[in-house]
Structure 1
Amino acid sequence: MEKSLLLFIFLSSLQIFTTAQDSTYDSFVKCFAQNKIPNDQIQSILYTPTNPSFTTVLQSYIRNRRFNVSSTPKPTIIITPTAESHISAAVLCAKQLKIQLKIRSGGHDYEGLSYVSDTTFIILDMFNFRKIDIDMKSQTAWVESGALLGELYYRIWEKSKVHGFPGGVCPTVGVGGHVSGAGYGNMLRKYGLTVDHVIDAKIVDANGRVLDRGLMGEDLFWAIRGGGGGSFGVILAYKMKLVTVPETVTVFRLEKTVDQNSTDALVQFQEITHKIDNDLFMRVLLQPITRNRVRSVRTTFIGLFLGDASRLLSVTDSEFPLLGLNKTGCREMSWIDSVLFWGNFDNTTKPDVLLNRNPESVNFLKRKSDYVKTPISKSGLESIFKKMVEIGKVGLVFNSYGGRMDEIPESETPFPHRAGNIFKIQYSMNWNEEGEVADKNYIEQIRDMYSFMKPYVSKNPREAYLNYRDLDIGVTDNGKNSYSQGKVYGVKYFKGNFDRLVKIKSAVDPENVFRNEQSIPTLSFQGRKTRK
């Protein structure tokens, strides 16, 4: 009797859920038709859970397995637009039907904000918008938001062997999210951020209008270059200015352990990394390892130098001798081959691998970020190493600052973390075990490490990088207290630029159509909740 009752309740709930989904779908079909989208196009771009391709479409751009389990909330509809009119209709219909719209370009957002919510939601997936137009006469590129960084780098290489673009090193990251969150890569010290080279954009606003820089105005154009495009509209494309690269660049990867003087080398790294030749970018990986049954921390120095090995060695020998770099540790190559090196491809890999839109593996993961303005002492580093060994799996990544970053004002774009930083820290935790127990265990480890690092990093506020999304630092339910909630994380991501972003948001999207758990709040909006 009890089992029969439970089955009845389950089937009744399933029927209610399915009916609600069908109702939402029918409402969207009707709304799309009212916006003059032909029925055959509607049927080809709208997916519901009953569609055999729904799961494949949903999972194709999930890059964090934490949000790809059976208990993960699923969208009611996935929209895969192939024309600008489809996007305008999606925005207007979501607005009319008061349903949360999640916008996904590459799916690398660390907290799944582009494809997960605890309220009824739909996904606008931009993967069909991936056209790339390179104009070598003007040395510019129009790049649609669903294109991936690897595709962009490949298309530049097709046209020129002495041009590149200062974006991220992971080739499967989507252009839309990467650029709208500021973006950086291993040419940061020479050329600054990705957004520092954006000269135009196309966006669909909250009223369904397609706007370029001239039509949207300079305030909105400023906001979508580092303030997160998903708070202001749907990014269609960015126009970017390419940069020049030498025919020969040099890379290196040098591992050191504590008994190989890694701590002293790391002390010296902090003293020089933001002041050294701007052609040199260095990344340091700190990873807990076991050697001969003894736990310790391995330090790996990875570098890109925009020049040949001889000139690189003249720089490191004089300014960073404790690195211990020599000729055999250097690899000279073309810029496109350095893209493959930083993407962790082997020496025989050809550039066309950058056209592969599927990463080799997808892990459960959690990331956090910090900024370091004062060198950490040797005793401080030793304490950090000890803590890393104690915790177990958390890795730290140090990314060099200085150079061009010191020359651009904090207010130039929404991204404020410019001058005064020695390096940025990314906290990294990957795991393969599925389940809430594993998630809780590993996330607690990275939170423990983050808490331990408080004395060594920026203060008032403790700064964070928007593209390393971290819901631990604050969320909004997009209700009546959205401004006060948003300010908690907003000042960490944007510092003094936060209130300008709020003012722009309030002007261009007063009904808060474009919202998520860490979106820019609007002063005029009351109500509507999203995932806490």
Structure 2
Amino acid sequence: MATISKEARQYPDLTSGYNQRWSGTPESVVLVESVEQVAPVVQEAVRDGKRMTVNGAGHCFEDFVYNSDVDVVINMKHLDAVYYDPAMNAVAVEAGSNLLNVYEKLYERWGVTLPGGLCYSVGVGGHVSGGGWGALARRHGLIVDHLYAVEVVVVGEGGEVRRVVATREEDDPNRDLWWAHTGGGGGNFGVITRYWFRSPGATGREPGEILPRPPRHVLLSAAALSWDEITEAGFTRLVNNYADWHVRNSRPGSRAAGLFGLAVLNHRSNGQIGLITQVEADLPGADDLLAEYLDAITDGVGAPLQPMTASMGEYNAMPGCYEAQRLPWLQATRFLGTNNVDLNNPTLRADYKSGYMRGNFPDKHVATMYQSLTSTDIDNSTATMHLQGFGAQVNAVPESATAFAHRSSYFKLYWQVLWDDPADDDEHLTWLRRFYADLYRDTGGVPVPNELTDGCYVNYPDVDLNSAEHNQSQVPWYRLYYKENYERLQQVKKRFDPRDVFRHAQSVRLPD
């Protein structure tokens, strides 16, 4: 364990995140190297009345880790072991691991994986607790659907610190703490030190028998359409085609569940709109499935597919995948996950938003997308709205079975804009906020849970949802994230963090 003070030369590297809008000036950063070291650090901070936050070695879209109120940051990045625990008959993943580390360890050793996110640098600690999804979610569900247990360092009413292991077993007295970490978000209940994973119904006693097996090979396709050849009618057709395909092809276990597709709707200044698609190559007729999908998405658009020569949001150009590449699964996962140089650019600032869809877009939604993405208010090739494949196996789990409540959505939405000059903050924030507010103007500027929209993704946190200026829906931010699961999360908070030690701008609140 190492404690890094303000005087240390490495201090600046340990007090800011990927998003350069957020940095902090804590008294110290504590680098822990074992699960046993975490509780004493927490106990010392509680004893001294120090405000603490946790960096799980990934990134956060808001200032929940790095802000002016924080005294101590617990950095978990060296707590990154992945191993089989025979006592649990589950694979343990320490909370400082990033996703690529997990994928490599699981697959290279045992030929299995977890259906987590796309980006290599996402930290497991927050990703899992927020309900993590990714390219295999349509086939295997969310990463939390395979969570067997979690270990959390918690603080009691009297300030006493203890490590609690909570499992999904029905007779576990701490089961609600496990449940809270299946979509209840990070930074709410304590310091997560490790997770254990075993798929429900798994009966084997070997690590290669208890978690999902990914396909041996995938087809990875990256194609684009030129903005110069897309009319408003063609854009409308493209967006509606994407939505319609996902509404029609989200039956759990179906052939189409083996396809994951992104439609990357870049601002016109980018020059291209992208379609990034991954298909399980082991499926009979996988090439036909990919061709049918691309034909369905581009039907009537009036612009031919071409190589993806422009960057797409955080993804670099992929012209070599215009002809779909048949790749071993881990190679494809590593390529797609690391093909995002902007995440390593220490000059960039960013803002993000999210939403879920339970049906096709209304015409007014698509008109707003077109207007915003062709607006001359900004000239920024990174400004983008992603349509992200969802549904299928994700929707096979009841909304109350886990804390993740968006179990009837067919696809999700993700907004991103990156820039480098603080003087341009207002320009980019205004563009993004106006886009979002205009899209949801009929529901108070946010995607309220109803028959069409289904709230927001807690792992893409957005503090604008707390603001009466930006959220005029009368639906509070916590309903957008958790829907009807929020009150149960509050009871877990009351039991395991009664002093509200672990808190941030959108943490679960103690009940009144």
Offset at residue 243 of structure 1 (A): 1.1
Offset at residue 386 of structure 1 (A): 2.1
Deviations 1:305-327 (A, max 9, x none): 11258723333455652346899
Residues 273 and 422, structure 1, Cα contact 8 Å, conserved in 2:
yes
Structure 1 residues 275 and 240: CA distance shift in structure 2, 3 A: farther
Counterpart in 2 of 1:251? 220
Task: Give the distance between the partners of 1:216 and 1:74, measured in 2 at CA.
Answer: 39
Residues 297 and 385, structure 1, Cα contact 8 Å, conserved in 2:
no
**Counterparts of residues 376-525 of structure 1 (less than 5 Å):** 376-377=361-362, 380-390=365-375, 391-392=377-378, 393=380, 394-419=383-408, 421-433=409-421, 435=422, 437-455=423-441, 458-460=447-449, 463-474=455-466, 488-523=476-511
Structure 1 residues 413 and 250: CA distance shift in structure 2, 3 A: same
In structure 1, runs of 5+ residues without a counterpart are 1-43, 291-295, 347-355, 477-485, 525-532
Residues 58 and 121, structure 2, Cα contact 8 Å, conserved in 1:
no
| Residue-pair matches, total | 446
Task: Give the distance between the partners of 1:460 and 1:415, measured in 2 at CA.
Answer: 13
Task: Give the distance between the partners of 1:74 and 1:137, measured in 2 at CA.
Answer: 41
Residues 135 and 260, structure 2, Cα contact 8 Å, conserved in 1:
yes
Task: Give the distance between the partners of 2:162 and 2:280, measured in 1 at CA.
Answer: 42
Matched, 1:146 2:96: yes
TM normalised by structure 2 equals 0.80
Q: Percent identity?
A: 23
Offset at residue 134 of structure 1 (A): 4.5
- In structure 2, what residue type is equivalent to 1:521? R
1:364 to 349, 352, 366: 349
Residues 308 and 332, structure 1, Cα contact 8 Å, conserved in 2:
no
Counterpart in 1 of 2:301? none
Matched, 1:342 2:344: no
Structure 1 residues 444 and 383: CA distance shift in structure 2, 3 A: closer
Residues 91 and 208, structure 1, Cα contact 8 Å, conserved in 2:
yes
Structure 1 residues 137 and 289: CA distance shift in structure 2, 3 A: farther
2:188 to 231, 241, 244: 231
User: Partner of 1:114: helix, strand, or coil?
Assistant: coil
Structure 1 residues 455 and 334: CA distance shift in structure 2, 3 A: farther
Offset at residue 408 of structure 1 (A): 1.0
Offset at residue 216 of structure 1 (A): 6.4
Task: Give the distance between the partners of 2:295 and 2:363, measured in 1 at CA.
Answer: 17
Deviations 1:389-437 (A, max 9, x none): 1143431011112211221111111111111x2311111010011x2x3
Higher-Rg structure is 1
Structure 1 residues 312 and 263: CA distance shift in structure 2, 3 A: farther
Residues 264 and 322, structure 1, Cα contact 8 Å, conserved in 2:
no
Residues 410 and 417, structure 1, Cα contact 8 Å, conserved in 2:
yes
Task: Give the distance between the partners of 1:236 and 1:399, measured in 2 at CA.
Answer: 30
Task: Give the distance between the partners of 2:293 and 2:328, measured in 1 at CA.
Answer: 25
User: Partner of 2:116: helix, strand, or coil?
Assistant: coil
In structure 2, runs of 5+ residues without a counterpart are 199-210, 250-255, 299-304, 307-320, 469-473
Counterpart in 2 of 1:314? 288
More helix per residue: 1 or 2? 1
Task: Give the distance between the partners of 1:509 and 1:378, measured in 2 at CA.
Answer: 45
Residues 365 and 439, structure 2, Cα contact 8 Å, conserved in 1:
no
Structure 1 residues 337 and 74: CA distance shift in structure 2, 3 A: same
Structure 1 residues 135 and 85: CA distance shift in structure 2, 3 A: closer
Task: Give the distance between the partners of 2:81 and 2:296, measured in 1 at CA.
Answer: 46
Task: Give the distance between the partners of 1:297 and 1:383, measured in 2 at CA.
Answer: 19
Counterpart in 1 of 2:252? none
Counterpart in 1 of 2:205? none
Residues 448 and 480, structure 2, Cα contact 8 Å, conserved in 1:
no
Residues 354 and 456, structure 2, Cα contact 8 Å, conserved in 1:
yes
**Counterparts of residues 44-83 of structure 1 (less than 5 Å):** 45-59=2-16, 62-68=17-23, 73-83=24-34
1:124 to 74, 84, 95: 74
Task: Give the distance between the partners of 1:380 and 1:471, measured in 2 at CA.
Answer: 23
- In structure 2, what residue type is equivalent to 1:234? V
User: Partner of 2:164: helix, strand, or coil?
Assistant: strand
- In structure 2, what residue type is equivalent to 1:126? M
